[in-house]
Structure 1
Amino acid sequence: MDTRTTTPGTTAGTRPLMRAAVARRFGGPEVVRVESVPRPTARAGELVLRVHASTVSAADHRMRARDLPKGMWFMAPIALGVFRPRVRVLGMDAAGVVAEVGPGVESFQVGDRVVARLGSAFGGHAQYARVRVGVGVARIPEGMSFVDAAAVPFGGLTALHFLREAGVTAGSDVLVNGASGAVGTAVVQLATALGARVTAVCGDGADLVRGLGADAVVDYRTEDLAAGTATYDVVVDCVGTAPVARVEHLVRPGGAFALVAVDAAGLLGAGRARRRTGKRVVVGNITVDDGDLASLLGLVEEGRLRPVVDRTYPLDDVVAAHAYVDTWHKKGSVVLEIS
């Protein structure tokens, strides 16, 4: 890795600098380099965090590699960039300490330990990150580590949104495809916490998902999830291998398909699938707020939600972190420790 030598804390003009993992072109993990870049400042309605931990996720892979699901090429220029990444500092979440409070923010103050969902703005793979209040930021409970806190937003908020939109309640039967990843492990736990019965589909993560509350496990390497005779109220597809056409016979009348990972055909055909099957098809943007993240952290405090961390890497090993995520075999989250 090429690490530039500018010392964080010196200035470029009048802007303080910080260390960050930067991708200035599309490509494999090796395109990410640790550099010194200008530190962000807090604008109205924002915080700046001194970041201690962030995750390296599938979303970071897609942005860095310009790798969208099948058929999504038309979205690439807007979502990812044309000739180079639209966002150069990746990281869709950040856990750290509030270093600066912008105008109009009254709910947080300098020194608060918080975790935040950065979403499509990214920016978590740096010593400092800008956070917009209101779309997923909450105080970290006493005793919770920054690493564990960072593992909550990406999977937890995604899982919460899709379970809520799909109408999962106590007594629901839920099939979770891709149950051992960051989103899948959260879906298993949150569905269980709601009182649902969960069947988890994964590879070598069977012991993990059983320990998280799954009632049954399907090993996709030896069993075809679509060939079973069991039916469910909701099928949650976290990896994109259970489109409606493949699993519609598994969903009971009045049930729902929650397509967390979806290609262009699934996204554009969602309305048609709803009309044809008479069942809900949940796709699209995640809608969450600060209260949702606070609720998830409360579940962690109560022992009903466990942050699942596969591996941690220091910032200087960010290339190795990306390479591991690129294997598509991580369990839970891969966390980058910044400080």
Structure 2
Amino acid sequence: MEYRRIGNTGLKVSEIAYGSWLTFAHQVELENGKTIINRAFELGINYFDTADAYNRGEAEVLLGEILHHYSRSRYIVASKAYWPMSDAPTDRGLSRKHITDSVHASLARLRLSYLDIFYCHRYDPESPLSETLEAINDLIRQGKILYWGTSEWTAEQINEANRLCIEKGWSRPSINQPNYSLVKRNIEKEILPACLENGMGTANFSPLAQGILTGKYSGGTLPPGSRAADESLNSTMQNLISDKELLSRVDRLAPIASQYDLTVGQLSLAWILQNPGISSLIVGASSVEQLESNVKASGVKIEPGDMKKMDALFPLG
């Protein structure tokens, strides 16, 4: 495993992070989770990503049940807030109240005294940005958050947050968490440059486009046990599963992958890590075997000619 600094901070994260979206407290339960997390540590993973909204807090509960057996100095935990956690109108968004309530609730579920990283899970147009940023800064001063970041914010929103933090003397965002993969490259236009300009790192989610970039859906097949075959998980990937032209392009990655003794999925992950603006990519393996496979992308160097071939297959729109 290789490690990278998050933006201009001194915090080093593993190139491969383990995420609990759609896995913990759904596909992954306690005993399997213990095995996966233990193997993650053995493989050098030190960054574990979760959110209050993942299975309405149950992912955090399960992660906390496992991680509290390990030395706190060994790992980094990131959680998030924005999405509704109940029907209460105050239990959502990025108001001072919801951020404060959410962080305290996450700490309790995770059995932690502080979060290494707190993400604003989306931008909240109903809360004044200054209120959101001041609340985060207060929690940082209280020692309950060490670093904070954004997720799925626009470049304009990221720039405005940094401008306001500089003006007020508040802690600036250190990291952004966008959806980024060969299939979804739109952050390269404005968002990634904005992060680099502001000294922020990037830890992307869905690096395999929810499994499309593994090649296992070649020809439109739905392997038993796959995410696409699970009706409770596949709602966000229906358009990808049915896109035969996309699946054909994924198949054409195989000859390139074979040159590096990699699978199509490993090559797709390694492609992301060629970008120096990426701090870490978040994988959601539901088994030890998947995790071990994903980790092999760390440290891979892809030749410029092969990068051009991959860029041609999946051009920036």
TM score, norm. by length of structure 2: 0.29
TM score, norm. by length of structure 1: 0.27
Higher helix share: 2
Higher strand share: 1
